[in-house]
Amino acid sequence: MTKRTNWPMVVPDGTTMVGTARVRDDSRPPPMTTAQRRIYEKTGVPPQTSALDDVDADDAFAAPSLGMAKPAKPTKYRNKRCYHDSIKFDSEKERSRWFHLIQLQAAGKIRDLRLQVPFILTERKRRDDGTWERASKYVADFVYFDVETGKQVVEDVKSIATRKNRTYIQKRKQMLDKYDITIKEI
């Protein structure tokens, strides 16, 4: 068995073979695939080179720069979380509704506007084996009193897709059953 060379291995210029391995000639561009060649013939623009060709041997195992980081995966329903005055909103639509409700409260049409109000749907209970079953709750986006009707209004900002969510539908039905509250979907 022969002793292997330590890396980085230095190969003198002009060497074509090292043992049974052929040395790549870096002065020539890498061969183009058929698709690249056809695009080059039509547009005259040479194909992009591999990003790995520019990496130094010493820097091969360095962490990628922030510019090469993977793009963030979009959320399930394509909503964008946002903030306003240190209040976190799950979507821009929800934030927009918050601004509208603040204007209605300032005009005196609604009162006691609250944000992210929890409602307990089922209480915490002990099972037969001694372990506890968690309580289930529904968190309303907005709760306020309508001045004209004098009734409490529970609002939830929903897209067409999230209105069909089975968990949400079940909680909506439990709210109607336990509290006799119909959720207003915006």
Q: Distance between CA 59 and CA 51 in Å, rounded?
A: 13
Average pLDDT over residues 139-156: 95
Which of 1-5, 10-14, 112-116, 170-174 is predicted least confidently?
1-5
| pLDDT score, position 46 | 75
Average pLDDT over residues 128-141: 95
Contact 91, 74 (CB under 8 A): no
Give the contacts of 53 (CB within 8 A, at least 6 positions apart). 30
How does pLDDT run across 81-115, given as a tens digit for each residue? Answer: 888 888 899 999 999 999 999 999 999 999 999 99
Does residue 62 carry a pLDDT above 70? no
Instruction: Provide the H-helix boundaries in 12-159.
Output: 34-43, 92-107
- Quick check: pTM over 0.95? no
Q: Round the average pLDDT of the chain to a whole number and report it.
A: 84
Q: Distance between CA 99 and CA 186 in Å, rounded?
A: 14
